[in-house]
Amino acid sequence: MSTTPVSDAMRAGGQWNAAWDEMAALDPIWLETFLAAGTLPLRRGVLDPKIYEFLAIAVDASCTHMYAPGTRRHIAAALDKGATPEEVMAVLEAVAVLGLHSVALGAPMLAEEMQARGLTMPGAARD
């Protein structure tokens, strides 16, 4: 039996962050414990997966973190889980109180993800 089931599941599910590779190599048990704690509400079913993605967007887009790869990944996951672009934008606006950079970082990503799904930007010229 694997000693890193959460890490293994994240790798298999496409949720693995390559930035964690060195941590996993140096101390896989520490990283496993960290990831297990951070994903516990989701794995227990306490939080709806879409809400969990909203929280991850808020953390990654916050001005104290500003982690673009995670913000992009969680925006895409939220949309895939049924979030509306308006809901994602509301999350970005909520973290804007920490700094306007949260919206500046996330809004273009939301627009790109909307475009990738064929969704129309509000206020865009219509034929």
Query: Has this prediction a pTM greater than 0.85?
Result: no
Q: Provide the pLDDT for residue 14.
A: 86
What tokens were used for 17? 């962050």
- 67 vs 19, 21, 60, 91, 96, CA distance in Å? 11, 17, 5, 15, 15
CA–CA separation, 46 and 17 (whole Å): 24
Residue 126 lies in a domain: no
Number of domains in the chain: 2
Q: 53 and 109 share a domain? A: yes
Structural contact between residues 32 and 7, judged by C-beta atoms closer than 8 angstroms: yes
Q: 65 and 98 share a domain? A: yes
pLDDT digits (tens, 9 = 90+) for 54-99: 999 999 999 888 899 999 999 999 999 999 999 999 999 999 888 7
- CATH number, domain of 101, equals 1.20.1290
Q: Provide the pLDDT for residue 49.
A: 94
What tokens were used for 60? 């990654």
Residue 49: φ, ψ to 5° = -55, -35
